[in-house]
Amino acid sequence: MEAKESLERDWSSLLPELLNLIVRNLTEISDFVRFRAVCMAWRSSTTITDLLPQFPWILECHNFLKDDLRFYSIHFGKTYSIHAAKSLGKWLIGLSINYIKIFDITRQVLSLLNLLKDHEIPIPAYDCDKYPYWKGPWQNQMGVQMLCYGPAGCRNPKLVFYHLDQNNWSELIIGSDYVNCDITNCNLFYLDGMLFIVLRDTGVTKVMDVSTNTPAYIIPPVEGYSTKGTEYIMAASGDILRVFQYCDPSADLRQYCFIIHRLHINESGSVCWVEVDNIGNHALFIDMNGGFVLRACDFAGIKRNCIYNLTKMRMGIWEAASCSVERIDIETGAREQFPYPLKKPRGWFVPVL
């Protein structure tokens, strides 16, 4: 009888202290969701903020979204499938850390979509006479979205910023004498109110203050600047990093290498890029379209001072593209490959409830 009574115990009456102890050990988002679905008592004992920060997933999908979206976690070695009803029938045009950027061609509406909540944030129209498109790397800061308005290939379209918290727009005049460049031949990066305009031909970086629409400073190119690679500019706890990705010509197979610089301000006020091999307690996540920085101490499984690189690889003209996921130690150059079972990777995605 005692054994039978123990089996029929009411699990909803567990002490809150014990429930909190269980939650603190749920490192995977799917376990956390199942925990909160057990009963009302378990759900009310936790909040969404109790979920530990999740190791980034890899999103797999086509440009046109018509099915459930699939993700893969290299940390847990698991594949997840998410049904996001508001994404169906839309076009995927980018990622923004924990949102995807979608376009409804029927309504001509750009939106941000949190896939786990199926929560959509429409981006209001700024210029109804011109076609809008997101400019710059896909992995943008969530609070401000950078868009261009103008026909494809336009040398000087309107460059505008939508501020989600204020629900308003700001426009940057990019045809000024200070910039004096063809925007289609530039890489643009928005970081904490500053726009970094990298001229591809010369490697010169011109920085503008978006809030005041005024020039800030000009950063000369790094020594030995090359156009044969991809450049990213990222923010890491107050530091500005320049990350240059290139293909190692001496490797037997296609292998990507990285050179990292930190923005340095001299006592005289001049600025320059200084090469570094240590980014402290940070890790870089880079894919085919952009990248972002995370603090390693905030996430289980992330190794500090490393690059997590996701790239498509094509060995020959007639061979299908494969995917490479690797972790690179910035200081030692040591590499570790991760298995990846999906076929069409689109980029890193941070799951957030």
Instruction: Answer with the residue of higher pLDDT: 182 or 277.
Output: 277
Q: What is the pLDDT of residue 154?
A: 61
pLDDT tens per residue, range 211-261: 888 888 999 999 989 888 999 999 998 899 999 999 877 765 678 899 999
Positive or negative: CA dihedral 255, 293, 159, 106: positive
Q: What is the pLDDT of residue 97?
A: 79
pLDDT tens per residue, range 29-42: 999 999 999 999 99
Instruction: Answer with the residue of higher pLDDT: 108 or 82.
Output: 82
Q: What is the pLDDT of residue 346?
A: 86
Q: Rounded distance, CA 183 to CA 151, Å?
A: 13
**Above 70 in pLDDT, residue 175?**
no
**Above 80 in pLDDT, residue 125?**
no
**Above 90 in pLDDT, residue 328?**
yes
Q: How far is CA 260 from CA 245, 263, 277, 283, 303, in A?
A: 9, 10, 7, 12, 17
Q: Residue range 156-165: average pLDDT?
A: 75
Instruction: Answer with the residue of higher pLDDT: 91 or 179.
Output: 91
Q: What is the pLDDT of residue 319?
A: 45
**Above 50 in pLDDT, residue 317?**
no
Least confident among 31-35, 148-152, 269-273: 148-152
Q: Rounded distance, CA 32 to CA 26, Å?
A: 6
Phi, psi of 85 (to 5 degrees): -60, -35
Q: What is the pLDDT of residue 243?
A: 96
Phi, psi of 29 (to 5 degrees): -60, -35
**Above 80 in pLDDT, residue 24?**
yes
Q: What is the pLDDT of residue 151?
A: 58
